[in-house]
Amino acid sequence: MTAAFFSVVTIASIFVFLTSGSFMAIRKIGFLEFIFGPAWNSNPSDTLVGEIAGSYGILPLIVSTFASAIGALIVGGVIGFFTGVYLARFCSKKTSPYISQLINLLAAIPSIVYGYFGMMIVLPLLSYLSPTGESTGTLALSIVLGLMIVPTVTALTKSSLENVDESLYECAAALGLSHDKAVFAIEVPSVQRGVMAALLLGVGRALGETLTSVMLAGNKVNYPTSLFRSIRTIPGNVALEIDGAGELQLGALIGSALVLFVLVLVVFGMYNIVKNSKKKQQGQGIFAKLWANTVARFTKASKVVSIVSTGITIFVLSSIVVLILLNGAPNLGRQFLTGTYSGGYDTIAAPIVTTMMYVLLTALVSFPIGVCTAIYLTEYTSRQKKGRITTLIEIAIDTLSGIPSVIVGLFGVVVFADILGIGTSILAGCLTISLMIIPLTSRATQEALRLVPESYREGAYALGVGKARTTFELLFPSAIPGLLTMVILAVGRMLSDSAAVMFTMGGVLGPLPTGYLSQGSTLSTAIYVLGYQHEYYGEAYATASILIIIVLSLNLLSTFILNRFRRSSRLRKA
């Protein structure tokens, strides 16, 4: 019960933190000047009193953030959508599961790896196209963010197409429509809500990407007037300036995070509306009309686009893995993995140890709270009729899981590290990341408990077995495969996070940590520190390889567990 309120308290305190932390600064700068000011040129010596030397307008940042998210949507949305259609409707039944599996695996690759790939491969390629030779900017960022959201969009499009009522297709076929026509003109329009939801989810993720943005955007404060002009996004700006920020500067950064928070909330709010809205009359929206007039007419071409998109998806995503592994392998030596630190950047022994310490403590903090929340929500509240409190908790969990890492990181560095006096350290990092892991574990545990057949509960209650015992001794053991998957997912998420870890743990590469109060880097942030900050490219590739291998094997493991569980439950039914 207490645990369940945790998420509500967290989300409330983050909101309070964002507003109160920025209020004085924004008042000093002036609200209009802050939102609509055309220039950001901070000065760390500015305080809340006296003259302001720098300028703090975030309009270019907002516009740039949006431009790159929209660009990502165009790149990732189109490719992802058509890939989803291909996998659901054109690909042979035999190969489709393998490709989907592959794409799901690629979805697990940490975004920092995508970012590094973008920096090393996409930027040089784009510089051939660019008139000035400068390739950082909106286009580069959009492409990489787009690739990042391809797996999500593909998976959601595919699953919503697979849930289309079969009679719809049969009906179209019976009217003599070709397969292509039936798919594009009849089935796809009927899942427009599902596709919209997928796209919004993608935008939500693209808006919050932080270190990727730093690596690819160029980071000069500009309006994105050309595809190759250097830009700076809100999260990128926070990452660049948080270290050593002055009083007013920090307030303004928190203010910009508040703006980002609101933007993300709006996007997720739209997502929820789209997802839950009652089915509208078919063919009413603008998109539907546009669709009917264009794509649906050229079904042959659309089919070709689907095939090409799938090809691109498979090719690009697997080449990310292959290129990183190929470039990383030569650097994976003994000195690199286990060597002692001697001032250089030739060993990642410290990040390896730090990562282990961090995963362990974060799990210890977040799993009990997440699991208790889930138990409260599934077993101790009525399912059919949700009370206000339950709804409140669920909204809090959903919101918390959608907040970009950069915002939680900012909260962590100010509240845990400074106000509570822990300092930037592994401990502060663990506490901060826990805030993001808790909603994840809670959701996944809820799913696992819901999969336990209702008849078990009924049977146990009818025997006069109490609720607590039923939950812990009967339901939990039955939910073990689901819970294991939850643990693996959560660990994967911990390993992937970069922005919040960077802020709260200090992002330094040094000797082995001596305790939880040491500063440090995880493998994710080590990629950024090595590859972007210190230009140790080979070492960064090698670190990325290790990270990819760990994350992919975790992912395979969870698929394996799920498949085994499904198989055994199918046997049981037979």
Partner 1 sequence: MANRTIIKVEGLNLFYEELQALSNVNLDIAEKEITAFIGPSGCGKTTFLKCINRMNDLVPGCVIEGKISINDVDIYGNINVDMLRRTVGMVFQKPNVFPMSVYDNIAFAPRGHGTRKKADLDALVIDSLTRAGLFQEVKDRLHKPADELSRGQQQRLCIARALAIGPEIILMDEPTSALDPISAEIIEGLCRELKENYTVLLVTHNMQQAARVSDKTAFFLLGQCLEFGETSQVFSHPQNEEFQKYISGKF
Give, for 56, the enclosing helix (H) or strand (E).
strand 55-56
Which CB sits closer to partner 1, 27 or 467?
467
Two tokens at 428?
């502060």
Between 78 and 465, name the residue whose CB sits nearer to partner 1.
Answer: 465
Structure tokens at 432: 């901060």
* Of residues 519, 521, 523, 520, the one with CA closest to residue 542: 523
The smaller minimum CB distance to partner 1, of residues 151 and 482, is found at 482
| Amino acid of residue 284 | Q
For the bound state, the minimum distance from the C-beta of residue 454 to partner 1, rounded and expressed in Å, comes to 9
Q: How far is the CB of 392 from partner 1 (least distance, A)?
A: 18
Q: Cα(448)–Cα(442) distance, rounded to whole angstroms? A: 10
- Closest contact distance (angstroms) between CB of 258 and partner 1 is 39
- Residue 97, exposed/middle/buried by CB under 10 A (0-12, 13-18, 19+)? exposed
How remote is the C-alpha of 323 from its chain's centroid? 23
In DSSP terms, which residues pair with 55 in a beta bridge? 41
Cβ proximity to partner 1, 133 vs 453, nearer residue: 453
Q: Which amino acid is at 28?
A: K
SS3 258: helix
Q: Which residue, 94 or 385, has its beta carbon nearer to partner 1? A: 385
22 and 254 in contact (C-beta within 8 Å)? yes
Cα dihedral sign, 376-377-383-385: positive
Q: Which CB sits closer to partner 1, 244 or 466?
A: 466
- Bridge partner residues of 40 (DSSP): 56
- Cβ distance to partner 1 smaller for residue 49 or 462: 462
Question: CA 308, CA 330: separation in Å to the nearest integer?
Answer: 33
Distance of closest approach, residue 481 Cβ to partner 1, in angstroms = 11
Min. distance of Cβ 461 from partner 1 in angstroms?
7
- What's 516-552 look like in SS3? CCCCECCHHHHHHHHHHHCCCHHHHHHHHHHHHHHHH
Question: Please, what is the minimum distance in Å from the beta carbon of residue 453 to partner 1?
Answer: 7
CA 287 – CA 290 distance, rounded (Å): 5
Q: Which is nearer to partner 1, 308 or 465 (CB)?
A: 465
Q: What is the smallest separation between the CB atom of 179 and partner 1, expressed in angstroms?
A: 41
The nearer residue to partner 1, 465 or 512, going by C-beta atoms, is: 465
| CA separation, residue 29 to residues 37, 40, 53, 66, 249 (Å) | 10, 12, 11, 23, 10
**In the complex, what is the shortest distance from the CB of residue 55 to partner 1, in angstroms, rounded to a whole number?**
58
Structure tokens at 403: 């907040």
Of residues 280 and 469, the one with the C-beta less far from partner 1: 469
> Looking at residue 333, what DSSP letter applies?
-
Q: CA 107 to CA 86: how far, in whole Å?
A: 18
Residues that bind partner 1 (CB under 8 A): 382-385, 453, 455-456, 458-466, 469, 473-474, 477-478, 572
Q: Which residue number, 464 or 515, has a Cβ lying nearer to partner 1?
A: 464
The tokens of 240 are what? 């660049």
- Measured from the CB atom, the residue of 393 and 544 that comes closer to partner 1 is 393
Given the complex with partner 1, which of 243 and 458 has the nearer CB atom?
458
Cα 450 to its chain centre, rounded Å, is: 25
Shortest Cβ 391–partner 1 spacing (Å): 14
Q: How far is the CB of 1 from partner 1 (least distance, A)?
A: 18
H helix and E strand count, the chain: 29, 2
What amino acid occupies position 541? Y
The closest alpha carbon to 500, from 524, 482, 477, 518, belongs to 524
Q: Tokens 């928070």 — which residue?
A: 261
Residue 290 or 468: which CB sits closer to partner 1? 468
CB-based burial of residue 369 (10 Å sphere; 0-12 exposed, 13-18 middle, 19+ buried)?
Answer: buried
The distance of closest approach from Cβ of residue 113 to partner 1 in the complex, given in angstroms and rounded to an integer, is: 39
CB of 373 to partner 1, least distance (A): 21
Burial of 340: CB neighbours in 10 Å, binned 0-12, 13-18, 19+: exposed
Residues forming beta bridges with residue 231, ordered by sequence position:
218
Rounded to a whole number of angstroms, the minimum distance from the CB of residue 371 to partner 1 is: 20
* DSSP H or E segment with residue 43: none
